[in-house]
A and B are shown apart, each in its own frame.
Chain A
Amino acid sequence: MVTRLQKPPKKNPQVRTRVPTLPSHYRSRSALFMAAAAAEGRFMLQVCAEPDCGSVQYPARDACSCCLSDRLVWQDVSARGKLIATSTVRTSTNTYFRERTPWRLGTVHLEIGPSVMCHLHSEVVVGSEVQLINRLDKSGQSVLLALPMEKAQLQEDDMQLRELTCDPKFRRILITDARNPNAYALAKSLLEAGASAVFVGEAESWRPYPDRAKLESLQGVELVSLDVTDTSSVQELAGEFGGKVDILINNARFVRPGGIQGRGDVGFAMDEMQVNYFGMMRLAQAFAPAMAGRSADGVNSAVAWVNVLSVYSLVSNPGFGSFSASNAAAHSLSQCLRAEMASSGVRVVNVYCGPTEDEWHQPLPPPKVPAGALARELVKALQAGLEDMYVGDIAKDIRRKFMESPKVLEKEMTSLEAL
């Protein structure tokens, strides 16, 4: 039975905040392919590509344990199996687990062959069929967890599962840009997902914008003053709210069409960098340390930093060439932030979005990403515990091509017909 998650009481300021500890992060390089799959929530194992073999490998290997071939290919495979043994760890040599015992684990015999050790959801019992998921744990590395075949009541409240996800339930969230046309949809989706408070940053509050009244009407939303291009504004807000931001959603964005020669100067380019790149850096300098210090703070611990990026951070879209460049810079910075947050267990989630349904993309043909779809997918990424999420058909298309060959994708994007 899942124990229902209780809304945490107001924090007692006299109680020491626990220092975050982590499970072991040591992995072989081959095992990092499982972490890469876990970043997108995929269950992938190595399969031997020799035509007369095809055996499935686990743990990650460098040669086939059946025929010694080195042609091991990572493939999406069935995650179904039978739970054949269980144990509950009562005492552990690792501080992270020591603080979280009793901790359940089990052996699952996969229908595709191997047996795996895995974490257990509280609803699975020995002898039953289970579904494994591959996720990143607090150390940022891949782990497997067995879920019941049918979704359980309050499934997401399970303690061991919640350690792997960034569920907004009972968490307090900062959305950085109220003026972004996606702000209302984001706030609404997060509240529906159980967020206990949503703070929405608003720059130049004297200047009107269409969704302000709608945003204000949402129960649980609080508009706060925040201009990501202004260091003191960011620091001021962090001083007041930094200790109660459990999830930060960096959705501030400056976007204009154009690349290099179509623009007469670097004015828009500087705005793009100010918001999209320096904005992220200012936010991270002000908010990340406090979040990193609160990542083991109970039910509403700090858990995720979300960047809403353009998928053109991976490859230039010359029609929005300068905007793409600012996003490439932001994307690179997000990887730096991941490294800096690794010791805290706070996950840096990147949401790669295709062209959005808004004024600045008005002349573009469909498909475009409506705000509601972006919000839905972003919340899904948090609830499922993903690190990378691609939103919209174009983003998914670019992702596939990027994974296949970044250079071929570049050729395609920069050909004569591209502009």
Chain B
Amino acid sequence: MIKPRKRMGYDGVVVAAPASTPYERYSTETAHWWIAKALRQSIKSAGLTPRDIDGFSVASFSLFPDTAVGLTQHLGLVPRWLDHIPQGGASGPSALRRAARAVQCGDASVVACVAGDTNHVDSFRRMLSSFSRFAQDASYSYGAGGPNACFALLTDYYMREFGVGREDFGRICVSQRDNALRNENAVMKKPLTMEAYLTGREISDPITLFDCVMPVAGAEAFLVMREEDAVASGIPHAHISATIERHNAFAEDPIQMRGGWEMDIDELYGMAGHGPESVDLLQTYDDYPVIVMMQLEDLGFCAKGDAARFIADKDLTVSGDFPHNTSGGQLSAGQAGAAGGFIGLVEAIRQVTGTAGATQVENAKRALASGFGVINYDRGVCTSAAILEGAR
């Protein structure tokens, strides 16, 4: 048995230039278009040009038949370091930690990390039916409910196992809508009441309308670069305190009740040098509220099964005592495909660099952003997380 080595820190590397496009319910544009839009915004905000980008990391579901390679020619980039991250909702922290090592080791000087997808009128259905081999072989033929049905099964189990009610999930959705109203890029523009949540249209029991994300088109981006370069150019930036990533954890669990975070939590906080109590705000991957609860537990904010009680005692809004998914998350801003794996991280960068504008949490210094991705069959396979600390 080979033991893991103590992880090196990310000294000398920073993350900067968070960029988010407005989200659109349906778009006639392509993923290439959306990715270019976020990329341009990010590079411009740092006062750089595309020629300064020598590392490029892409996450997208709807680029086909292109990959990151095709994008370099399409967008006129000349990177010496290239990555394509197929981790869906976990792609943000995963892209960050790869790019950080490339910059730290000198393989690249500025890595642009971008995630984006378009959403054509029929593209969601098409993507579901050919999402993965296991999904086509063993999940899509059972009602073709897509992720709604898969997460309905997990939610059903979780609710009975821990005595959780729909109102407990509702608190997450209602608070995020409150946050989204401050975010002009979000697709949801109207307030959500608990009553409206509880009477939402049935989708796949026990999941109802407001438990589900709205598939949209959009893109998110950030830059990873050397600290000295960011300082010299006066670019607001944040340090990377710790990151983790895990795939196919706890495959022996008969149904998903925990994610890979639980396996790596000691490393995450060990590397950061502090525990969850020192985090000023949390950005979880929120494709369904049950997954938010799992992250609160698996990332150590509360014990397994206690997330509903934990939430009931907290105010999850931007001005609350436990700011969570401050831009509204995917539940209220929309799920722009693989950009759903970036939305939390990009907002976390804005928060700790003090550039979040209307969603800014007061005195936000440390943020934790976590990712969760790819319902390959019956559960999310990829998990990731990153802790950022603003350099102010």
Interface residues of A (CB under 8 A from B): 23-24, 26-28, 30-31, 58-60, 65, 84-94, 96-97, 101, 103-107, 109, 115-119, 126, 137, 139, 141, 143
B140: Cβ under 8 A from any A Cβ:
yes
> In the complex, are the beta carbons of B153 and A28 less than 8 A apart?
no
A117-B378 CB under 8 A given contacts A23-B144, A65-B251, A105-B145: yes
Given contacts A28-B137, A59-B137, A109-B255, contact A90 B142 (CB under 8 A): no
Complex CA–CA separation, A96 to B254 (angstroms): 29
Interface centre among A58, A86, A105 (most CB of B within 10 A): A105
Residue from the set B128, B129, B136, B377 with the largest chain A CB neighbour count within 10 Å: B136
Give chain B's interface residue range (CB within 8 Å of chain A).
Answer: 35 or more
Interface of B toward A, CB cutoff 8 Å: 124-125, 128-130, 133-134, 136-146, 148-150, 152-154, 156-157, 160, 201-207, 251, 254-255, 377-378
* Nearest-neighbor residue (CB-CB) of B128 within chain A: A93
B32 to chain A, nearest CB (A): 25
Residues of B within 8 Å of A104, CB to CB, are 143
CA distance A119 to B150 in the complex (A): 13
* Given A84-B255, A105-B142, A109-B255, A90 contacting B203 (CB threshold 8 A): yes
B230 to chain A, nearest CB (A): 44
B143 touches A24 (CB 8 A): no
Interface centre among A59, A97, A118, A141 (most CB of B within 10 A): A59
Q: Given A85-B255, A91-B203, are A26 and B130 also a contact pair (CB < 8 Å)?
A: yes
Which of B133, B134, B140, B142 has the most chain A CB within a 10 Å cutoff?
Answer: B142
Interface contact B204-A89, CB-CB below 8 Å: yes
Task: Tell me the bound Cα distance from A85 to B152 in angstroms.
Answer: 9
Give the complex CA separation of A28 and B137 in angstroms. 7
Known: A26-B140, A89-B145, A91-B201. 6 other contacts (CB 8 A): A87-B152, A89-B144, A97-B144, A97-B145, A105-B149, A109-B254
Give bound CA distance, A23 to B145, whole Å.
12
B377:A59 contact, CB within 8 angstroms = yes
Q: Provide the residues of chain B in CB contact with A59, threshold 8 Å.
A: 133-134, 137-138, 377
Nearest CB in chain A: distance from B214 CB, A? 14
B254 touches A118 (CB 8 A): no
Contact of A85 among B136, B141, B153, B251 (CB under 8 A): B153
In the assembled complex, 24 residue pairs joining A and B whose CB atoms fall closer than 8 Å, in A order, are A24-B129, A24-B136, A26-B129, A27-B136, A27-B137, A31-B137, A59-B133, A59-B134, A59-B377, A84-B157, A84-B255, A86-B156, A87-B153, A89-B144, A97-B144, A104-B143, A105-B143, A107-B254, A115-B255, A116-B138, A117-B138, A117-B153, A119-B142, A126-B156
In the assembled complex, the CB of A118 is this many whole angstroms from the nearest CB of chain B, namely 7
By a CB distance below 8 angstroms, the chain A residues around B251 are 65
Chain A residues near B140: list those with CB within 8 A: 24, 26, 94
Please name the residue on chain B nearest to A60 by beta carbon.
B137
**How far does the Cβ of A250 sit from chain B's closest Cβ, in whole Å?**
29
Residues of B contacting A117 with CB < 8 Å? Answer: 138-139, 142, 150, 153, 377-378
Chain B neighbourhood of A60, CB < 8 A: 137-138
Question: Contacts of A87 on B, CB cut-off 8 Å?
Answer: 145, 149, 152-153, 156, 204-207
Cα A119 to Cα B157 in complex, Å, equals 17
Checking A24, A28, A86, A115 against B144 with a beta-carbon cut-off of 8 angstroms, the contacting residue is A24
Q: Which residues of B contact A23 (CB under 8 A)?
A: 141, 144
Specify which of B133, B137, B377 lies most central, judged by the most chain A CB atoms within 10 Å of its CB: B137
B290 CB, nearest partner CB in chain A, Å = 12
Instruction: Tell me the minimal C-beta distance from A111 to chain B in angstroms.
Output: 11
> What residues of A have a CB within 8 angstroms of the CB of B254 in the complex?
84, 107, 109, 115
Give, as a whole number of angstroms, the nearest-CB distance from B162 to chain A: 13
* Chain A residues near B205 (CB-CB < 8 A): 86-88, 90
Q: How far is the CA of A137 from the CA of B251 in the complex (A)?
A: 28
